[in-house]
Structure 1
Amino acid sequence: MTKALIVIDVQESFRARPLWRTTDNQDVAEQAGRLVDHARAAGDLVIWVVHEEPGTGNTFDPVNGFVRVMDELKPAADEPLLVKRVHNAFTGTDLQHRLTVAGVRSVTVCGLRTEQCVETTARVASDLGYDVTFAIDATATNPIPHPDAPAGQTVEELLADPRTLSAADVSARTVYALAGRFATVKTVAEIIGE
């Protein structure tokens, strides 16, 4: 086995947040599912990752019940589910060990959020020597507030602020930052050969 699909933070925590309605790719679970089906058919390793923030009381706090893979996706019994507490899927998990033991040299990454956990994982994977494919339409993100925006903005205030970086701009910036440096950026259709 030389390839792996890493599904990052496609979890109910995001759908439970008011910001979910601003997500640029509401079909992220469906797109990730297409990649999972393709990887399984090819005999590639599939690794699931979820993010938790214990003790915060937010949707990433495991006690609230949202730190689980989105309901329409079903990890197989033999597919690892890793739990992380930082932006990349390597730090604090045994991801690198699992990839090494399986002989993986090429990884495809997808999930939430495009510019945070998925991009950071892609960069770390590249630095570790993996050949990285970034499945751009199997990622999703939200608009990002300006650094000087007041804390605790409502979704409406975020969207009304002209300084807010749109989700489309966030995704475009990620493509520019990764392509040809840290990853090959492809669509799901390109990856699965449609």
Structure 2
Amino acid sequence: MRLILENTALIVIDVQQAFDEMERAGAKRNNPEAPARIADLLAAFRAARAPVIHIRHANTDPGSRFHPQATGYAVREDAREHPGEPVLVKHVNSAFIGTDLDTRLKGMGLSTLVIVGATTNHCVETTTRMAGNLGYDAILVADATWTFDRAGPDGRLHAAEDIHAMSLANLDGEFCRVFQARDVIEALARSGDAL
């Protein structure tokens, strides 16, 4: 498989201030450098003039940090869209549900999706699974996504790093291919070479 600029888009999922608010409130996360890697990928895609599509989560619950009237709904400054980059708003985990993402991608002739954002085991994983099922060549960037510690139904606490690693293990080879940001950036620089 080759990474071809004309067929490839960067999908940036839910890089919103709500996650920073959660961390400030004491939630523990992994991949603290993920926003910086996302910024690196944004710069690389923009330099290559490859499409970038931003996804925002809008929760309908007025008490949610992701409610459009809440401060957490806002995008992080380092992931803010540039003019001409579409922003699609979703209300569920998958960026394909309730949006025109699939129609938009097909209309642009895009078949390879480089997926980044938050959180690994929720909206990123759900969107990646659907991308694979819809026939896209999905590339999940491991160091450009993150998650938080989470308790299971038995009350046992699972570390963010373990949850992240399990999501990657579940997805890789079945729904997507997993790479690091530097791999994607290098492939963009030599578009057409094997990734």
Classify the TM-score, shorter chain.
0.7 to 0.9
Q: CA offset at residue 56 of structure 1?
A: 2.8
TM-score scaled by structure 2? 0.88
Gaps of 5+ in 1: 150-162
Partner of 1:154 in structure 2?
Answer: none
Partner of 2:120 in structure 1?
Answer: 114
Residue 10 of structure 2 aligns to which amino acid in structure 1?
L
Contact 2:27 2:149 in 1 (8 A): no
Q: Does 1:4 align with 2:9?
A: yes
Query: What does 1:60-99 align with in structure 2 at a 5 Å threshold?
Result: 60-99=66-105
Q: CA offset at residue 65 of structure 1?
A: 2.6
Q: Does 1:169 align with 2:169?
A: no
Identical positions, percent: 35
1:69 aligns to what SS in structure 2? coil
Partner of 1:31 in structure 2?
Answer: 37
State which drifts further: 51-60 or 89-98.
51-60
Residue 193 of structure 1 aligns to which amino acid in structure 2?
E
2:78 aligns to what SS in structure 1? coil
State which drifts further: 44-53 or 140-149.
140-149
What is the number of residues matched between the two proteins? 181
- The match for 2:183 among 180, 185, 190 is 190
Q: Deviations over 1:40-81 (max 9, x none)?
A: 122211000111112332211111232121122231110001
1:16 aligns to what SS in structure 2? helix
Q: CA offset at residue 20 of structure 1?
A: 6.0
Q: CA offset at residue 168 of structure 1?
A: 1.0
State which drifts further: 116-125 or 54-63.
54-63
Q: Does 1:40 align with 2:33?
A: no
- The match for 1:54 among 51, 60, 63 is 60
CA RMSD of aligned residues (A): 1.5
- Higher relative contact order at CA 8 Å, sep ≥6: structure 1 or structure 2? 2
Q: Deviations over 1:76-131 (max 9, x none)?
A: 11000111111110100111111011100100101000011111111100111100
